[in-house]
A and B are shown apart, each in its own frame.
Chain A
Amino acid sequence: MSERILSVLVEDKPGVLARVSSTISRRGFNINSLSVGPTHIEGRSKMTIVTELDAVEQVKKQLNKLVNVIKIVELDPEMTIETEVLLLKVSINKDSQTSVIEKASLSGANSVDVGQDYAVFELTGSSKELNKFEDLMKPFGIIEMVRGGRIAIQTNL
């Protein structure tokens, strides 16, 4: 299904994330990803919400009703730069070690911690690239994986 990315500027006040997520779940919208963080403007946070094309109009309108939501921009898919961060801890042993490190480095992942029997990699990229990296690591035994949620920005803004 076709996705749409919303860039949502909100007031940095207690409970804003709860209001947004409560509205989303109450209305039964499908959300593929939600991330939130500060902006360069004092007192303003930015949420990046990834939803489906068929829900996007109502998601925008319902979120716009929240008093603490200042502005919602639906990003143009043609002009959007999107990225996501991943941390992945994978098992290693004498036999697999070389292969794991080689595959990780070819994928552009940085090794951030290596122990006797494990390694932790960090990778930043599109969701597709992150999925692909996960698939590559699976055969070696993923111990833990964390993804940071998708963030996006429009190129000409």
Chain B
Amino acid sequence: MNKEQLTGAELVIRGLEYLNVSTVFGVPGGAILPAYDPLYDSPIRHILARHEQGAGHMAEGYAQSTGELGVVIATSGPGATNLITPLANALMDSTPLLAITGQVASEAIGNDAFQEAYTVGLSMAATKHNYLITDASEIPQVLKEAKYIATSGRPGPVLIDIPKDILNQKSDWVEPGPLDLPGYKPTLEPNPKMIQQAANLIKNSNKPILYVGGGIIHSKANQELFDLATKFNIPVVTTLMGRGAFPDGHDLCLEMPGMHGNYTATTSIQKSDLLIAIGVRFDDRVTANPSFFAQNAKVIHADIDPAEIGKVREAQVPIVGDAKSVMLGLINALGDTKLNTENWINELNSMKNEFPLSYNQNENGPLKVPFVLEELQNLTGEEAIVVSGVGQHQMWISQHWNFTKPNTWLNSGGLGTMGYSLPAAIGAKTAYPEKLVLALDGDGCFQMTCQELITASTENIPVKIVVFNNGNHGMVRQWQKIFYNSKFSASELGHVVPDYVKLAESMGAVGLRMTKKSEVKNVFLEMLKINDKPVLIDCVVDPEDMVFPMVPAGGSNDQIILNEEDLKNL
């Protein structure tokens, strides 16, 4: 065995190299300083974020765009607490993340030392698993375990907390051995009996719907999904996390269901006699009130996480397994079956025609986000990686953008973290320098992490940012309009400050602005010409615009509010 004495810090960096980590995001500080010393000499690229939350979202964007592990490094105390939001975000959206945090020296732990926080305790409910290292010799093996736990089964964030004295402690580099995790054995292969039962239900269904989500993307199973849907003519709804798993524009694609889903997608589930749910968790944004959800449907629920099955909705056929294996199994079990879904598809097609998504862009009126999005997509096609914040703009993008490939749509779906867009876009652009990466953000969101524009400039990561500036927390304003008698309590940000163009320039980026329809195309063309710097567009949009369709929280998906007119009947 190859043995040499290294410090704990060197073991961390050597361990990351051993795990083929090429990029890490982070912010240094007292307790983690020893690790930054060997990092300087390592081929691993370190991106210096301006805030640990930003570093965490960057690692998430890197992971979500590649499907591989994202790594973030922070110091003890505030460095670690600032990471809690990205960790919780990654847990909700099942993103494989590894966080390494410095901790105060072992003998100081528990004494309220400078920059001490109980990181393992604080992050316990925000990680899939976490560790406190007590001896430097553990480091290589724990790193290997952590990567395995983060990336296997249902992926998620794992944190390793390392006291400063352990980072300085000398130990042997011992190549990590086989994993010994008696309590962690994810089930990948589905039970063939369950597959057969599922196939039997599908054969007898007249109105099946494939209800699919992020699990397809994590499992890299979009091809198997495509085969299953097209071979047996089964319409597909893709949840917010599953956008891009099945190509928009395909005849069988109904796109997003739920609170702001389109009419046909939401209604197809309500009318379905069989939900083939794969890699989804019956989230409340999809189901609304679960007692009214898909009341006529039997449910096949396949997920890699057994705890998701039966959590919200009882499944007639529960299947624990990886989405890819499940769908291969189903395709095989269905064999030459011909499903008689023609009438069902016709019914859905006429629904699509009768209730299309729409918007109304006046020639001289204020800009509407959906119009701006369509103009941008016309110029950029389907290759861009689109990264959104949270709120109205996020829903409009999911509704109006044409997603045809997995991992091209990054957003904070479960936790709904405002401020996610810009740093996550930086992470994605780091992974794919040659690809167009668009941070399409709201002004409220942007203001939460806009300091990371400096990171983009100084690290030469030329992302393109569109700030939809409606001067408001738009979704909050929308709810206040509908549910709080237009009492706009604390939702107004103002259009004037900051001046986003000047802000961008001061941060080393190019700032542009669009305020009316006639400017949109040219400003985008100008943006697309600039590839050596980040570009930010201040896109001034209508603050009065609302996202429709809408099903109020806790309502029934049978009662969809299609437009402002419908609000009068509430």
Chain A positions near chain B (C-beta within 8 angstroms): 10-11, 14-15, 18-19, 22-23, 26, 57-58, 61-62, 64-71
Nearest-Cβ distance from residue A68 to partner chain B, whole angstroms? 5
A64 touches B149 (CB 8 A): no
In the assembled complex, B305 has its CB within 8 A of some CB on chain A: yes
Cα A20 to Cα B311 in complex, Å, equals 19
Closest to A11 in B: B183
Residue from A11, A14, A67 within 8 A of B149 (CB atoms): A67
A65 touches B305 (CB 8 A): yes
Cα A20 to Cα B305 in complex, Å, equals 18
Cα A139 to Cα B149 in complex, Å, equals 56
Instruction: Return chain B residues, CB-CB under 8 Å to A58.
Output: 307, 310-311
Nearest-Cβ distance from residue B155 to partner chain A, whole angstroms? 13
B183 touches A22 (CB 8 A): no
In the assembled complex, B132 has its CB within 8 A of some CB on chain A: yes
Q: Contact flags (1/0) for B164-189 with A, using CB distance below 8 Å?
A: 00000000000000000111100000
A66 touches B307 (CB 8 A): no
A19 touches B124 (CB 8 A): yes
Number of residue pairs spanning A and B whose beta carbons lie under 8 angstroms apart? 40
Closest to A25 in B: B125
B121 touches A67 (CB 8 A): no
In the assembled complex, B306 has its CB within 8 A of some CB on chain A: yes
Interface centre among A26, A67, A69, A70 (most CB of B within 10 A): A67
B310 touches A57 (CB 8 A): yes
**Nearest 4 A-B pairs (CB), nearest first?**
A61-B307, A70-B183, A67-B129, A67-B184
Instruction: Return chain B residues, CB-CB under 8 Å to A19.
Output: 124
Q: Contact flags (1/0) for B114-139 with A, using CB distance below 8 Å?
A: 00000011001100110010000000
Residue from B121, B183, B311 within 8 A of A66 (CB atoms): B183
Cα A18 to Cα B130 in complex, Å, equals 12
Residue from A18, A62, A68 within 8 A of B121 (CB atoms): A18
A62 touches B124 (CB 8 A): no
Nearest-Cβ distance from residue B286 to partner chain A, whole angstroms? 19
Nearest-Cβ distance from residue A102 to partner chain B, whole angstroms? 49
Instruction: Return chain A residues, CB-CB under 8 Å to B307.
Output: 58, 61-62, 64-65
Instruction: Return chain B residues, CB-CB under 8 Å to A15.
Output: 120, 124, 132
Cα A15 to Cα B306 in complex, Å, equals 24
Cα A61 to Cα B307 in complex, Å, equals 5
23 A-B pairs whose Cβ atoms sit less than 8 Å apart in the complex: A10-B183, A11-B183, A14-B132, A15-B124, A15-B132, A18-B121, A19-B124, A22-B125, A26-B125, A58-B307, A58-B310, A58-B311, A61-B311, A64-B307, A65-B128, A65-B305, A67-B149, A67-B181, A67-B183, A68-B183, A70-B182, A70-B183, A71-B183
Query: Provided the pairs A57-B310, A61-B307, A62-B307 are in contact, do residues A18 and B124 lie with their beta carbons within 8 angstroms?
Result: yes
Instruction: Return chain A residues, CB-CB under 8 Å to B124.
Output: 15, 18-19, 22
Cα A19 to Cα B126 in complex, Å, equals 11
Interface centre among A11, A23, A61, A69 (most CB of B within 10 A): A61
Chain B positions near chain A (C-beta within 8 angstroms): 120-121, 124-125, 128-129, 132, 149, 181-184, 305-307, 310-311
Nearest-Cβ distance from residue B98 to partner chain A, whole angstroms? 14
Closest to A23 in B: B125
Cα A33 to Cα B363 in complex, Å, equals 67
Cα A19 to Cα B121 in complex, Å, equals 9
Nearest-Cβ distance from residue A55 to partner chain B, whole angstroms? 12
B306 touches A11 (CB 8 A): no
Nearest-Cβ distance from residue B532 to partner chain A, whole angstroms? 45
Instruction: Return chain A residues, CB-CB under 8 Å to B149.
Output: 67
Cα A102 to Cα B414 in complex, Å, equals 62
Nearest-Cβ distance from residue A8 to partner chain B, whole angstroms? 10
Interface centre among B132, B182, B305 (most CB of A within 10 A): B182
Nearest-Cβ distance from residue B356 to partner chain A, whole angstroms? 40
Nearest-Cβ distance from residue B310 to partner chain A, whole angstroms? 7
Instruction: Return chain B residues, CB-CB under 8 Å to A67.
Output: 128-129, 149, 181, 183-184
Instruction: Return chain A residues, CB-CB under 8 Å to B125.
Output: 22-23, 26
Instruction: Return chain B residues, CB-CB under 8 Å to A71.
Output: 183
Nearest-Cβ distance from residue B316 to partner chain A, whole angstroms? 16
Closest to A14 in B: B132
6 A-B pairs besides A10-B183, A58-B311, A64-B307 with CB distance below 8 A are: A11-B183, A18-B121, A67-B129, A67-B184, A68-B183, A70-B182
Instruction: Return chain B residues, CB-CB under 8 Å to A68.
Output: 183
Cα A10 to Cα B183 in complex, Å, equals 8
B306 touches A61 (CB 8 A): yes
Instruction: Return chain A residues, CB-CB under 8 Å to B181.
Output: 67
Cα A65 to Cα B183 in complex, Å, equals 8
Instruction: Return chain B residues, CB-CB under 8 Å to A23.
Output: 125
Cα A22 to Cα B183 in complex, Å, equals 18
Cα A22 to Cα B128 in complex, Å, equals 13
Closest to A43 in B: B182
Cα A117 to Cα B146 in complex, Å, equals 58
Nearest-Cβ distance from residue B466 to partner chain A, whole angstroms? 37
Instruction: Return chain B residues, CB-CB under 8 Å to A64.
Output: 306-307
Nearest-Cβ distance from residue A125 to partner chain B, whole angstroms? 33
Instruction: Return chain A residues, CB-CB under 8 Å to B306.
Output: 61, 64
